[in-house]
Chains A and B, each alone.
Chain A
């Protein structure tokens, strides 16, 4: 398997949409996906739902999804929503 990751920067103004797009693109890759959250300062229930779906799709394909530069505030939201175990995180 190719180990080069696919990088995508998540648009902070349209997080849910960006995550949905990332999920759709999973179909075309078996490489690790890195989502750059450096532009995301707040996350909505819709975005959480999109992350949940993305994690499900990635698990089905056995593709790893890493989230980069997640703020501690958003990390806490993901923790409370029980989503952190489904992703890897790095700065």
Chain B
């Protein structure tokens, strides 16, 4: 891009006639663009081909006209530019879809649809006038847009002729009349008026910094280009012969007017003399120090530090004559050795003429730094070149240089245009990224002339169902331990269970001669220090098997010990980081394992189901908080669900753990993550609980009831391990933490209210890709049917289910209100805001069918305080047969 010849600042204010003229152009373009939306891809492609052929046919006359008018460049090279702008651009776009559906991704349910921009206001430069017009015309027709061109004033005649050639070819082959127009003459006010026009959709400014800045400042979407100052690193491993020829080709092409052309070549010391000799052999003049100083003073404006307009696009010999240098008649290039970069080294800036600065670098480090300096001296985001055979140095160059195009072992100018020396997209507009004040680093192409709409279909989300691969159940299932050989087994348990003889039972069923060590931990939620001590034991005994014998606390402790034993680097705090979707979580659990240990879980309560869940809760007393870990890698390898270990459970524990199990199943049954796989388990667990929990509670020695409740707890856990739980657990966690209420009991206090809450029309629906409708109420009705509770409508069935739950709770003699726990009303009222906040922060509700508002959580706590008889039944979402 040239920085010369800014548009006139003293242009007159627009008169009404001029405004009418500009409005006419916009109206004509708007109409053409509107009509163009009806065209098919085939029609568009036919027009594009005809235009391309017309442009190719007129490549030479247009080149000649451009040189005559602008006085810049080389006619023969401009012919090549015009041909590249048509043929190469066509070759790139010919098979590309730009109408209607342009790309489809069936596996992602995505279709991309092209939407034309409408009216584009396009500024074109003096340096590449006709080629830029030809290129932009092809891009515009391919994308069904209309363009109003505003050529550089010093290139208006050749540009308007190029527009006319393309317009005639386009309209002759069916394009709508008015699709291109060219300002008859222009000034800054014309440009400003059109840049701000409400019907102009995009400004494409391939022009000087003033025009680009005006475009970006207009408030319209704009494509701009940035100034260049291409550094070249000629590294010592390079093919010097090829590099020198490529640089000469590039720097002399159209007398250096392409802004991607080489400006300063940084040469490794080892090859410096050789390189300069080859340049000289091939027709370059190597300036001595005095000549370099003279050249710098003459072709670079000492006031601005920018190149002098009179030198742009001129031959080397003409520049030499003007400067007063004595050079051979066929000199192609003036080479000026410089000792640094910056204002004190005038030739280190952009020079759109065949003058090339060279720098001798003592090392790669110095060479790269000088290249960075050149890059930052006016060329950020544009183009850089490296000649090297060393891939590592090429990679490093690409990392440290900020350029949208980093050209390797080929000419910078022609390389950057794309499609000749490399697979870059052919272009005549170089996006220079934010470094160059642009919004893209791309070679601008058809996709920048399109709005791309994405039609995103609802996709069937992958779901999962994961459980431990071995579950042994029913009485004496513990005998299966004999199939697990071990060189060192640790039984993790608590003191009470050891006293009850359960440890001996387990030990008895292990294969003979299994070395066994018993580790006793407190009967409470595991603490960090307990877990870490356990890991020390595992390491000491080099355990290859852990048997967790106990309730949820013991099993959770064993899961975390195993994690830390196998992956000592696991950071428990980081692993406990919250997440919304298990599959998209930020923190990943370690897969590299230092040790391996089989985890066998033998539950001694019938509620938590921890023997099959991927969850573990840890208490960090020092920091006064709980850490919840969740990952399928935590799931035990083997679960032994043997009722002999629960026959002596006290009544209260039987009730609390049984209700916990029921809550797991009910919440999994209505969860937004529920699936047919989890439903079958949830429903079966609910049926077993209603049938056997009262029996196990009232007749603790009933083996069948104990066995079925033990199975129910495991089956419910299988369901919620995959479907998760819901708002009941969030409320219960908050209540339990604040007032020390046992988990199962806290669940019981909330359960009837939560069923009624979830069955009502939600205030806010929970976004869920897994479900197509709100079905919680219907699912509760299905559960009521399963239990044979009767009812004709969904509402009746939900009410019957709530009543059945309440009757079950009564039969289990659990407190039926928070007030019954002995918590004073004023104390509870004061606690409610915090309780609601804690519950809202709890991840459990993320799979609840209804998204809870904090005000609703408060209300649920309030009615649970009152307890029985306060269940608020609201109207279900719709009346339908369950």
Contacts and interface: CB of A to CB of B under 8 A. Distances in A.
Interface of A: 42-46, 48-49, 73-74, 76-82
A79 B35 CA distance: 11
A73 B38 contact: yes
B38 A80 contact: no
B37 A45 contact: no
Contacts of A73: 37-38
B31 A45 contact: yes
Contacts of A78: 34
21 contacts: A42-B38, A43-B35, A43-B38, A44-B176, A45-B28, A45-B35, A45-B176, A48-B34, A49-B31, A73-B38, A76-B37, A77-B35, A77-B37, A78-B34, A80-B30, A80-B34, A81-B30, A81-B31, A81-B34, A81-B35, A82-B30
B178 A45 contact: yes
Contact of B177 (A42, A45, A79): A45
A80 B176 contact: no
B175 to A, nearest CB: 10
B177 A46 contact: yes
Contacts of A49: 31
Interface in B27-41: 28, 30-35, 37-38
A91 B716 CA distance: 58
A23 to B, nearest CB: 18
Contacts of A80: 30, 33-34, 37, 118
Contact of B32 (A42, A45, A74): A45
Interface residues of B, number: 13
A34 to B, nearest CB: 23
B456 to A, nearest CB: 21
Interface centre among A43, A44, A45 (most CB of B within 10 A): A45
A77 B37 CA distance: 7
B617 to A, nearest CB: 58
Nearest to B35: A45
Contacts of B28: 45
Contacts of A43: 35, 38
Question: Which 10 residue pairs spanning A and B have beta carbons closest together?
Answer: A80-B34, A81-B34, A77-B34, A45-B177, A45-B31, A45-B176, A48-B31, A42-B38, A45-B35, A81-B31
B36 to A, nearest CB: 9
Nearest to A46: B177
Contacts of A79: 34
Nearest to B179: A45
Contacts of B37: 73, 76-77, 80
A78 B37 CA distance: 11
Given A43-B35, A77-B34, 8 more contacts: A43-B38, A45-B31, A45-B32, A45-B35, A74-B38, A80-B30, A80-B118, A81-B30
Contacts of A82: 30
A77 B31 CA distance: 8
Interface centre among B30, B34, B176 (most CB of A within 10 A): B34
A42 B34 CA distance: 11
A60 B33 CA distance: 28
Nearest to B33: A80
A43 B32 CA distance: 11
B140 to A, nearest CB: 16
A78 B30 CA distance: 11
A77 B32 CA distance: 10
Nearest to B177: A45
B38 A77 contact: yes
A8 B800 CA distance: 66
Contacts of B176: 44-45
A53 to B, nearest CB: 13
Contacts of A44: 35, 176
B210 to A, nearest CB: 32
A28 B178 CA distance: 33
A48 B33 CA distance: 12
B713 to A, nearest CB: 59
A56 to B, nearest CB: 14
Nearest to A78: B34
A30 B777 CA distance: 61
Contacts of A77: 34-35, 37-38
Interface in B1-40: 28, 30-35, 37-38
A32 B819 CA distance: 76
A76 B118 CA distance: 12
Contacts of B30: 80-82
A49 B30 CA distance: 12
A42 B36 CA distance: 10
A78 B33 CA distance: 11
Nearest to A80: B34
A67 to B, nearest CB: 15
Nearest to A41: B38
Nearest to B34: A80
Contacts of A81: 30-31, 34-35
Nearest to A43: B35
Interface in B527-546: none
A74 B37 CA distance: 9
Contacts of B177: 45-46
Nearest to B30: A81
Contacts of A42: 38
Contacts of A76: 34, 37
Contacts of B34: 48, 76-81
Nearest to A44: B35
Nearest to A82: B30
Interface in B226-281: none
B92 to A, nearest CB: 28
B74 to A, nearest CB: 40
A49 B177 CA distance: 11
A44 B38 CA distance: 9
B93 to A, nearest CB: 24
B293 to A, nearest CB: 60
Interface string B154-183: 000000000000000000000011100000
A27 to B, nearest CB: 26
A77 B176 CA distance: 13
A46 B178 CA distance: 11
Contacts of A48: 31, 34-35
Contacts of B178: 45
A54 to B, nearest CB: 15
A46 B31 CA distance: 9
